[in-house]
A and B are shown apart, each in its own frame.
Chain A
Amino acid sequence: MRMTPVLSRLAWRYLWRNHRRTIIMLSAIAVGSWAMIFMTALSRGMVDQMIRDGISVLPGHVQVHDPEFLNDPSVANRITIPDRELAASFDTAGFRAWASRVKVPAVVSSERESRGVTLLGIDPAAEREFSFVSYDDVEGRFLEGPGDNGVVIGRKLADKLETDVGKRIVLMSQDPNNEIADRGFRVVGLFEASMPSFEESYVFVGKTTAQKMLRIGDATTEIVFLGDDYRDVEPTYERVIAAVDSGLDVRRWHEIDTYLGTMLRVMDGFVLIWVIVIFLALSFGLVNTLVMAVFERVREIGLMLALGMKPTSILAQILIESMLLLATGLVIGDVLAVLTIQPLQDGIDISVVAEGMEMMGASSVLYPKLYLNDVVLANVVVLILGFLASLSPAWRASRYEPVEAITKVG
């Protein structure tokens, strides 16, 4: 420890002995670090958006169903607990939000076209936290309560059905006895969604209206819960398990939408691989810089050894030099990354590739997402791998024989 100040001073001074080489290497590290963080933020933003969109449409963070519902999503497999009993259990359990809904497959028909859709019977107030639809941006109006008799459909579906606000459409599904359950609705609103497929797939009606149409009394088919963070879903899951009937099926969002769950895990792996790949490119420059830096001062290393500096101190000096170089480059890269990501927080319009993005389940606006964990990961991985890459030149420097090093001819 007592050698640290002198070794650090030597390392820093030697670093700047060859300004040009150091600046070039610093630039490479800074750009590499920026690329790691920037690309990670873009990828994270895309996956984050996919998951948030996915969660807002379907799962919430945790869902409760009848055990058979996910295999056969019909009202035959419904939850028969009335809302007031659910409210008694859940309102004080500390969830950020919860809602019960009727969700069944249905067919929607206009006078010209028919389409298969998912019918969502909702209480608009309870669903506000879950919905991918901004109620205030709906053309016409959104549903005003669970007993609303109107229907809100997506703009794209309206185009396909050749219908519009004020016109009537018919929704048809099955009741618990597998009899046709249908009803005419007046279109009261058209919504737009970041994902065009959502506009074609989902139809919103009042929950009570849907229950009447499907003849299921006050039963529902799905209860959804929102916790604080989709990445840390366990606390919410545990609270739901504690609060619901053990006969019901409780699942986390990534168990329901396995694609999104896998996406999240793949993303974590991708970030690490991406960081390592960029580091490998950097490592050639780093090792070359250190080898040259050592080669240039063989005599001085010999002198230090002759004066009584131990080989371990020479090793430490080269490693400190490497760490200072990397740390300085990383700090510059980190600052650059923050400065370039911050102005893009309102989103990057990638609508030119919207169809491709939609196939992946991503929206056409990309919101870069800078997570502290990713920045820390990139920095720590580069420092650790940099340390390992520096060991060889540092070890060689520490093995010089003083007399040979001092008499070495330039």
Chain B
Amino acid sequence: MSSVRCVDLCKTYRQGDQDVKALDHVSIEIDEGGFVCLVAPSGGGKTTLLNAIGGLDIPDSGEVWVADQRIDEMSKGELADLRLANIGFVFQAYNLIPVLTARENVEFVMQVQGVSATDRREKSQAILEEVGLQGLEDRRPAEMSGGQQQRVAVARAIVSRPALVLADEPTANLDSKTSDELMELFTELNRHHNTTFVIATHDQRVMRYAKRIVRMLDGRIVEDLEQDAA
């Protein structure tokens, strides 16, 4: 059963007086429990594809299906509900809400979901320990390093065990040790909870963990390879 299905997606941006094709007839299907790396040079279309899958950006044409629902025709409110219930996001930067502490950031999605305070507390504490941030729960983003902030963002993305996690360069600000720990965590979630991961990255270390590598160039998929994950 597919977790994500994109059919003939096209998306063109206007940049100055030029049209840039960010997605050029892209079709891809990702099964439940998939662990996919989207690999492309800058401007290759990986972030645009990630955003289209997450319902953050609406393609000019084509279809996007997530959890058996066609999302490219949904209203903003329906998309918000879908993201809240099914998708965890890790962005490359500006990931955290600066006025909330690490714990509050992790609890944010659960609070919007209506999870009880006790459950929120329990889950946020466990996940912060899992990503190695015990003792930093009450720090605000400005009081943490870039790597620590990214781990808070990852904790927030996975704390409510979404079916699909979309990550855009999740290891960009992390040292190699923390990157490996993060990827181990993703792999464990993928294996034990069947969470689907779609990760846009340049990082070779991240690609080692993927079961499938999708290479893009100029908005098109140019290579789609299965591999044995690390």
Contacts and interface: CB of A to CB of B under 8 A. Distances in A.
Contacts of A2: 114
A231 interface: no
A6 B108 contact: yes
A59 B114 CA distance: 64
Interface in A7-53: 9-10, 13-14, 17
A303 interface: yes
A303 B84 CA distance: 12
B54 interface: yes
B100 A13 contact: yes
B97 A304 contact: yes
B97 A306 contact: no
Interface string A375-410: 000000000000000000000000001110010000
Interface residues of B, number: 29
A406 B104 CA distance: 20
Given A17-B98, A307-B84, A402-B56, A6 B91 contact: no
Interface string B43-55: 0000000010010
B109 interface: yes
A401 B94 CA distance: 16
Nearest to A399: B76
Nearest to B97: A300
Contacts of B76: 310-311
A320 to B, nearest CB: 14
Given A10-B100, A307-B112, A309-B80, A403 B94 contact: no
Interface string B84-123: 1101010100111111100010001101111000000000
B81 interface: yes
Nearest to B104: A9
Given A6-B111, A13-B100, A303-B95, A310 B77 contact: yes
Contact of B99 (A17, A299, A303, A306): A17
Given A17-B99, A300-B97, A300-B98, A306 B83 contact: yes
A307 B56 contact: no
A14 B99 contact: yes
B83 A307 contact: yes
A403 B80 contact: no
Given A2-B114, A402-B56, A403-B51, A307 B109 contact: yes
B143 interface: no
Nearest to B156: A307
Given A2-B114, A403-B51, A403-B57, A308 B109 contact: yes
B91 A303 contact: yes
Nearest to B168: A406
Interface string A285-312: 0000000000000011001111111111
B97 A311 contact: no
B84 A306 contact: no
Contacts of B83: 306-308
Contacts of A13: 99-100
Interface of B: 51, 54, 56-57, 76-77, 80-81, 83-85, 87, 89, 91, 94-100, 104, 108-109, 111-114, 156
Given A311-B80, A401-B56, A403-B56, 4 more contacts: A308-B83, A308-B85, A308-B87, A310-B81
Shortest 4 CB-CB distances between A and B: which pairs?
A308-B84, A13-B99, A403-B56, A308-B83
